[in-house]
């Protein structure tokens, strides 16, 4: 039997085990049925973020943002475009810093938009400021290699 990846569902927070060779087949959460690696950006809360950072075997890129932030809103379509390009080898999520102030404190966020790349339970790198999709993709690939 091949390698098995653990993915936290960004919709319900459940841990799922997915055969690595089936990641491209569009796996779904065993609890809620949500797609786990479909290239869509998911809005997650601090609790789900904590689970995903600790539990995911696939790199996770998180956009820390707020609705009142103009550059954050401008970057949203670019972040979504990067999510499509990086899927299913990297998952992208957004955390609203205003609705989740614990995330701001925990990750020492001093300005937004801020992208933090997590892999294997730890923070790998940060990228601040609004960026085009190509820059986001290059940033991820430079830190996780051919996985992405």
What is the spatial distance between Cα 29 and Cα 7, in angstroms, rounded to a whole number? 9
Among the listed residues 24, 137, 28, the one whose alpha carbon sits nearest the alpha carbon of residue 83 = 137
β-pairing verdict for 15-19 and 4-8:
antiparallel
State yes or no: is 12 an active-site residue: no
Among the listed residues 9, 12, 29, 72, the single catalytic one is 72
SS3 118: strand
Among the listed residues 12, 29, 32, 69, the single catalytic one is 69
State yes or no: is 69 an active-site residue: yes
β-pairing verdict for 60-65 and 42-43:
unpaired
Sign of CA dihedral 34, 102, 89, 131: positive
Largest CA distance in the chain: 48
Q: Any idea which residues carry the catalytic annotation?
A: 69, 72
């Amino acid at each position: 039997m091949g390698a098995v990846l653990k993915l936290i569902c960004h919709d319900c927070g459940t841990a799922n085990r997915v055969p690595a060779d089936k990641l491209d087949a569009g796996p779904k959460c065993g609890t809620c049925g949500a797609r786990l690696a479909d290239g869509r950006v998911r809005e997650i809360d601090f609790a789900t973020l904590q689970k995903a950072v600790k539990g995911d075997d696939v790199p996770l890129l998180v956009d820390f943002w707020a609705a009142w932030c103009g550059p954050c809103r401008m970057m949203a379509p670019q972040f979504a475009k990067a999510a499509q390009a990086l899927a299913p080898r990297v998952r992208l999520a957004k955390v609203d810093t205003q609705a989740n102030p614990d995330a701001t404190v925990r990750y020492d966020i001093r300005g937004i938009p801020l992208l933090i790349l997590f892999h294997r339970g730890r923070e790998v790198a940060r990228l601040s400021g609004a960026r085009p999709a190509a820059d986001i993709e290059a940033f991820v690939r430079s830190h996780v290699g051919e996985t992405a």
